[in-house]
Structure 1
Amino acid sequence: MSALPPGSTIGILGGGQLGRMLSLAAARLGLKCHVYSDVPGGAADVAAASTVAPYENTNAVRAFAGSVDVVTYEFENVPLAAAAAAGEAAPIRPGPKALAVAQDRLKEKSFVSALGIPVAPFAAVDDDASRDAALLAIGESGILKTRRFGYDGKGQVRIRNAAELAPAFETLRRAPSVLEGLVPFAYEVSVLVVRSLAGEIRTYDIPLNTHKDGILDTSTVPSPLPPAHAARASDIAGAIATALDYVGVLGVEMFYLPDAPEPLVVNEIAPRVHNSGHWTMDACLTSQFENHIRAVAGWPLGPTGRHSDVTMTNLIGHDVDHWQALAAEPDSALHLYGKPDARPGRKMGHINRLKPRT
């Protein structure tokens, strides 16, 4: 469990903007990154090395892992076979268990529920019989979600009455799914917890998140979440990280029901650095990206406290066309991801607007 010295190389499975920001954070600590992705991406622009090959090419994955000192990942849909192949040649942190749980909504909800942590009502939908049984168990309104590969509002259909369930299942091409009951939440919060190789746990302040079209729009700190409930949310996230024997940054999204006996209901987990933690890049001494690198490299964790209030705003699609005006804003930090094409729904960057801490 010795720490990797400066000059060591961290392998990252995935080449998107999260891998880009991880690579930049590693460079600050004198560590190198080697990015493996099935398509060219923005992470390769700043990493010390990159490999472009299919994730299904386990020989290429093993060769990549054999060239680095530890492997991590920047997205939760890394194929489990690729993670296993990487783990044959180098330590992989967080471990594949976190991937296996997070990649399947049914496994994820069952795992969290088994810890005694509240989740929304759920039932599996695999065929017509289980579809009809789920309707009886959950009720006539809910959200039908594919068990795998859904994100940013994709792979899910809102159900308002019983007649809409069968067509929704067809819309999702009858993919194995989960019917979730609706939760009457006031707002959504997300906890960013980092767990070290030695099991130390630290959490960041919890932001208030807003969404547009199923995509995160803003994350604001401080949030109106009462301190006692914020402490409970942090405890929940820490319990999940410990149960997964997790190393690195874990995002735990929750619904907040202020008047309920249990005011926090887990929605989903993300075994990676998280969009709702981008504010930490400028409002904290140690960002989520640096702390993830520290954790997987076996370093001491950095402080997670913030020195400023902040609102992070995602730049989606053609929002990025206003980069000159955004760059001119006072008390703000602009982060662009180097993507060439601004398409609707595509995350092109973000801006952190800071204020003195209240």
Structure 2
Amino acid sequence: MKLSKLLQASTLAWCATVMAPAWSTTPAAPGDDAARLRVEKVAAALAADMAQLCPAADPGDQAAFDACRKGLFMDSQLKRSLLDFVLWGRQKDPKLTLKESKLTQFGPDVLAGMYVPLFMFNGKYSVVHVEREGLYQIRLQTAFRNRLSPGQFPYPFWHEAEKWSMYEKANEIILWWDTKADKVKVAQFTVWGTTPPVQVNTHVEQAAFDGKWMWTDATGKSQPAVTVFDGLLRADNPYIGKLDTAYKNLALRLRDGQCFQCHVPNNPDGMKKLVLLQTPMHAAAEIKRVMKAVRNDTMPRDEFGIEQPLDNKTKTALLNEGAAFERLLDLAKQWDASAPSTARNDATGLTTATAAK
């Protein structure tokens, strides 16, 4: 369902107020030496930790990626530094303000477990205060792992050639630090850094995007592999299979409710603050907020940007399947967290123990 250019603003305003975190309008004083020193200290710790967990390696090194992903997801400086919901995306133009930029909302599990591990770091950083935003930039030198298998990316970034090219050429990650919250509020990757990427890579021509955000490989496994729970919960977690089934049931109801017409990576309505629901991990980070919006009849919106409550049958089915998915997710996290600490690092590497705290 496409929105007209004339009416797009009302939908974007709704997304900003209902589904995205509020923007701070109180600038941090650039002359505040204490604040600057605090950000410098945080930046040094983040840069050192990320370089240790995710050092420069061959862009196709699966073991290096797995180790980076495990380290960032568990109890990393990065994950501890993120707000409950962080906006993420590319910096297409440094002249654009954050409000003008198209960004996607993620919880810490998703950003630390699926997106940032696709980059590598050398420990070098800079700190810049951006007065117009009232935020500091912590700029980390980086490079992108463009030679991983397609299932290691959260979705086919190559669905848009410009996006894939910017990922491949990224040379810095920008963490926008809010001194009031003492957390990262926005994270971006950029090609506008002043130094070359920390690891040389060459362009990878991916297969043409076929319109599928998820697919099944030749062995029958769901892909992308990083978006399902096999690699995030302990291998013996009894809820893994149930969670996959619960998400498939939820996805059918989301489709009935027209949620996938908007909340997918190609962002057909051009929302500046996008929420993704097309995979289990993406939906898991947003399920509580989505269910609240459905209960309150604040989503979906029609082509005029006006609240358009679902019919009773569709709404009831969506709430029931959403509640089942949410309940199983909580049980799975609780089960993982209750396992003996010596048993948590199974062969797959990652758990959700820290997420349950």
What TM-score do the two structures reach when normalised by structure 1?
A: 0.26
Q: Hey, which of these two has a bigger chunk of helix by percent? A: 2
What TM-score do the two structures reach when normalised by structure 2?
A: 0.26
